[in-house]
């Protein structure tokens, strides 16, 4: 028979209901507070990501993102200084093809019209956007 | 436990024998969906009947996860931001299925942009598990799994980035296959985590899964990550004995956190494999415990980049009140994305922001190497690795939806397989003693060795049905 050793797994005490961090106790994390992020950080990231968020959402996001980052911190316990990164698993390099019209593409349809029909505003077959600079602002 | 209703083989046979026409069987399914899907909500939209082409899927009604494009029809990805989006072209897999004769019943529900493990993150409301409607069907391909489990489709197509085919297959008691990364074209799949996303089938039995693999596999010049391979017939050797096949059991998948009822069924299944003549060996995947943490860097990072295209300018929801371009971005994305999508976009933006790249993204990709190396070493000793698909059977609706981390952890056994780019399958192996819900046996093989995977899965399934 196989001898299956027990393994300390992150979801232990999953149903103890003690706290959100209750189920993280078994993790080899050094410090969960290490990656706490502030509401100001959230505001900054949201701006970079171009998503408007309310004050209430900001607070919630701060808590949830901090708890996820706290969990992620367990990766710090592994020394990876001599490990090469894996960006993909197929081993393919430079997928090349002939620079020729691709027959497998259905040219009987007017793809351009189909694509443009999805845009909220167009003008003369161009996408139309709002002004980049707000003229009312000095 | 044979799955309910028609299989691909029974439909094709029925049509060819003149038992029913393709249109009759399609309408039969539509009528059934109209009644049963009010409660289940497996489907987001229904399609009209089209005369099928002749092929191995002649007239077989199927369901497609709503993150895969079918020209001229709505594709929402489970998001409000794409509520009215009409696909301009067919995904490669749609072309292949249509050429083989399949007819599409409709598009199935999913967690928004395939981000989730319960289908509760859909902007259009959750899907329920057909075997117990107080429970989730799993996710993110919950609609596709539920449709097959309730026989509201003969087979369905899903996508698997962290377990999104295998976990719902396990929860609903269907077969669910995630092929090797690079095996099936993702052209026309709305990208979530490009370095991990893979398309695969939900079926009622293993033979149907093998048949579908014959149809959907192959290099595609529209997806440069597909690997050029000679076409294979996955049904050819499916009957061959599995005697002497080396099956690895990773100790790490049986520790704390695994529900007893799941563990019992999996152990029982391993004994069954031993009886089939497989040689059972213990293997070790010591770094797999880091996979969820690594995944929640890799995935959000790629998500923040992939979802940047939803800008309120080219397609999708666009805020009408916005006065400046920046406002268009901010408000369209605020109104269009749900909570989980926002969380992951922000997390990824943070991980990729200046100064954090080495600490997060690069670190996670290095961990990926370690996880892959564990599998390489294990596969030097064994042909297939088996274990649980998920730590529990289908959980209750709302049980985990307020706590993203506990939801993430339900993918603990499936994520390492995606990070290593391997094929994996979930096969029903009986119901758990406590919940009386299905348990899925997880089989994982070497890259591009779906043949062995399907053969073992088929033999296992046959041994259960006997």
B155 SS3 class: strand
CA–CA separation, B22 and B406 (whole Å):
44
Partner-chain contact A115 B88, CB within 8 Å: yes
Which residues in chain A (68-87) have CB-CB distances under 8 A to chain B? 68-69, 71-72, 74-75, 78, 80, 83-87
Strands B424-431 and B61-65: unpaired
Of the candidates B222, B311, B403, which has its C-beta nearest A20's C-beta?
A: B403
Range A35-75 classified under CATH 1.10.20: yes
CA–CA separation, B441 and B425 (whole Å):
8
Residues of A in contact with B409 (CB under 8 A): 10-11, 14, 23
Task: Provide the token pair at B150.
Answer: 């309730």
**pTM (2 d.p.):** 0.93
In order along its 466 residues, chain B shows pLDDT tens digits of: 445 799 999 999 999 999 999 999 999 999 999 999 999 999 999 999 999 999 999 999 999 999 999 999 999 999 999 999 999 999 999 999 999 999 999 999 999 999 999 999 999 999 999 999 999 999 999 999 999 999 999 999 999 999 999 999 999 999 999 999 999 999 999 999 999 999 999 999 999 999 999 999 999 989 999 999 988 999 999 999 999 999 999 999 998 889 999 999 999 999 999 999 999 999 999 999 999 999 999 999 999 999 999 999 999 999 999 999 999 999 999 999 999 999 999 999 999 998 899 999 999 999 999 999 999 999 999 999 999 999 999 999 999 988 888 888 889 999 999 999 999 999 999 999 999 999 999 999 999 999 999 999 999 999 997 6
Backbone angles phi, psi at A83, to 5 degrees: -100, 135
Q: Position of tokens 């149903």?
A: A15
Task: Find the DSSP H helices in chain A.
Answer: 39-48, 55-72, 111-116
Of the candidates A11, A90, A134, which has its C-beta nearest B412's C-beta?
A: A11
**Interface membership of A95 toward B (CB under 8 Å):** yes
Instruction: Kindly list the domain boundaries of chain A, sorted by start residue.
Output: 35-75
CB–CB of B54/B101 below 8 Å?
A: yes
Fold of B8-244: Amidase signature (AS) enzymes (3.90.1300)
Instruction: Kindly list the domain boundaries of chain B, sorted by start residue.
Output: 8-244
B283 SS3 class: strand
Task: Provide the token pair at B84.
Answer: 């009215």
- Count the Cβ atoms, other than its own, within 10 Å of residue A88: 16
If you measure CA to CA, which chain B residue comes closest to A87?
Answer: B365
CA–CA separation, B271 and B154 (whole Å):
31
DSSP B362: I
- Count the Cβ atoms, other than its own, within 10 Å of residue B146: 36
CB–CB of B170/B151 below 8 Å?
A: no
Of the candidates A11, A46, A64, which has its C-beta nearest B257's C-beta?
A: A11
Task: Provide the token pair at B179.
Answer: 């092929």
CB–CB of B390/B432 below 8 Å?
A: no
Rounded (10°) CA dihedral B423, B112, B155, B198 = -20
């Amino acid at each position: 028979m196989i001898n299956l050793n027990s393994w300390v797994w992150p979801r232990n005490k999953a149903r103890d209901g003690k706290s959100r961090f209750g189920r993280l106790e078994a993790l080899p994390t050094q410090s969960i507070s290490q990656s706490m992020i502030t509401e100001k950080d959230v505001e900054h990231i949201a701006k970079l990501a171009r998503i408007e968020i309310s004050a209430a959402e900001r607070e919630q996001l701060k808590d949830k993102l901090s708890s996820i980052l706290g969990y992620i911190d367990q990766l710090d316990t592994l020394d990876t200084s001599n490990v090469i990164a894996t960006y993909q698993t197929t081993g393919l390099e430079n997928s090349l093809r002939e620079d020729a019209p691709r027959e497998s593409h259905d040219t009987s349809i007017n793809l351009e019209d189909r694509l443009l029909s999805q845009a909220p505003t167009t003008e003369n077959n161009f996408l139309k956007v709002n002004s980049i600079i707000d003229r009312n602002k000095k | 436990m044979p799955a309910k209703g028609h299989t691909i083989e029974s439909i094709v046979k029925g049509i060819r024998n003149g038992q029913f026409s393709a249109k009759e069987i399609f309408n039969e399914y539509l009528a059934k969906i109209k009644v049963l899907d009010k409660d289940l909500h497996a489907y987001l939209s229904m399609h009209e009947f089209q005369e099928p082409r002749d092929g191995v899927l002649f007239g077989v009604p199927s369901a497609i996860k709503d993150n895969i494009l079918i020209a001229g029809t709505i594709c929402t990805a489970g998001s409000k931001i794409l509520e009215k989006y009409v696909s301009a072209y067919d995904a490669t897999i749609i072309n292949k299925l249509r050429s083989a004769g399949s007819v599409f019943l409709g598009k199935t529900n999913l967690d928004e942009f395939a981000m989730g493990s319960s289908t509760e993150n859909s902007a259009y409301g959750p899907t329920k598990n057909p075997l117990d409607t107080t429970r989730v069907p799993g996710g993110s391909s919950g609609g596709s799994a539920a449709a097959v489990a309730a026989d509201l489709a003969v087979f369905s197509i899903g996508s698997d980035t962290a377990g999104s085919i295998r976990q719902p297959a396990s929860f609903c008691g269907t077969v669910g296959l995630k092929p090797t990364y690079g095996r099936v074209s993702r052209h026309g799949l709305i990208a979530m985590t490009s370095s991990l996303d893979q398309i695969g089938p939900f079926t009622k039995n293993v033979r149907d899964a093998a048949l579908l693999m014959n149809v959907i596999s192959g290099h595609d010049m529209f997806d440069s990550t597909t690997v050029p391979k000679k076409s294979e017939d996955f049904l050819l050797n499916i009957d061959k004995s599995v005697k002497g096949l080396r099956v690895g059991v990773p100790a790490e998948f049986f520790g704390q956190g695994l529900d007893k009822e799941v563990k019992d069924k999996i152990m029982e299944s391993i004994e069954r494999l031993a009886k089939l003549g497989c040689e059972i060996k213990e293997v070790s995947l010591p770094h797999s415990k880091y996979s969820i943490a690594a995944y929640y860097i890799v995935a959000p990072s790629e998500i923040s980049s992939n979802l940047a295209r939803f800008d309120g300018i080219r397609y999708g929801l666009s805020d009408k009140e916005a006065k400046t371009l920046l406002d268009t971005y901010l408000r369209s994305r605020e109104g269009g994305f749900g909570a989980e999508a926002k969380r992951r976009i922000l997390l990824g933006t943070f991980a990729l922001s200046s100064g954090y790249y080495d600490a997060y993204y690069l670190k996670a990709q290095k961990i990926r190497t370690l996880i892959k190396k564990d599998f390489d070493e294990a596969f030097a000793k064994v042909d297939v690795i088996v274990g649980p698909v998920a730590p529990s059977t289908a959980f209750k609706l709302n049980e985990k939806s307020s706590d993203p981390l506990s939801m993430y952890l339900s993918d603990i056994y499936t994520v390492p397989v995606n990070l290593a780019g391997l094929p994996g399958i979930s096969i029903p192996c009986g119901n758990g003693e406590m919940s009386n819900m299905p348990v899925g046996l997880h089989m994982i093989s070497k890259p591009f060795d779906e043949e062995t995977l399907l053969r073992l899965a088929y033999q296992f399934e046959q041994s259960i049905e006997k």
